[in-house]
Homo-oligomer: A and B are copies of this chain.
Amino acid sequence: MEYASSFKKLIEELKKLPGIGPKSAQRMAFYFLEAPKSQTDLLAEVINQAKDSLKNCSNCFNMADNDPCEICSDQSRDKSLFCVVEEPKDLMAIERTKGFFGLYHVLGGAISPIDGLGPSDLKIKELLKRIDAGVKEVVLAMNPTAQGEATVLYLTKLLTKYDNLKITRIAYGLPIGSDLDYADEATLVKSFEGRREVNV
Chain A interface residues toward B at CB < 8 A: 1-7, 9-10, 13-14, 16-19, 24, 26-33, 37, 39-40, 42-44, 46-51, 53-54, 63-65, 69-71, 87-89, 92, 95
From A16, A31, A32, A42, residue with most partner B Cβ within 10 Å: A32
State how many copies of this chain the complex holds.
2
The docked-state distance in angstroms from the alpha carbon of A70 to that of B19 is 32
B6 touches A65 (CB 8 A): yes
The docked-state distance in angstroms from the alpha carbon of A69 to that of B3 is 11
Partner of A29, one of B5, B10, B50, B87: B50
From A13, A49, A70, A89, residue with most partner B Cβ within 10 Å: A13
A70 cross-chain contacts in B, Cβ below 8 A:
1
The docked-state distance in angstroms from the alpha carbon of A19 to that of B26 is 12
A7 touches B42 (CB 8 A): no
B13 touches A42 (CB 8 A): yes
B27 touches A19 (CB 8 A): yes
- 11 A-B pairs within 8 Å (CB atoms) are namely A1-B69, A1-B95, A2-B95, A3-B63, A4-B65, A9-B50, A18-B31, A26-B89, A29-B50, A30-B87, A32-B47
A4 touches B37 (CB 8 A): no
A31 touches B17 (CB 8 A): yes
State how many angstroms separate the Cβ of A21 from the closest Cβ of chain B: 11
- Known A13-B43, A30-B89; further 19 A-B contacts with Cβ < 8 A: A1-B92, A2-B95, A4-B63, A4-B65, A5-B65, A6-B50, A6-B53, A6-B65, A9-B49, A9-B50, A10-B50, A14-B43, A18-B27, A30-B87, A30-B88, A32-B51, A33-B51, A40-B48, A44-B44
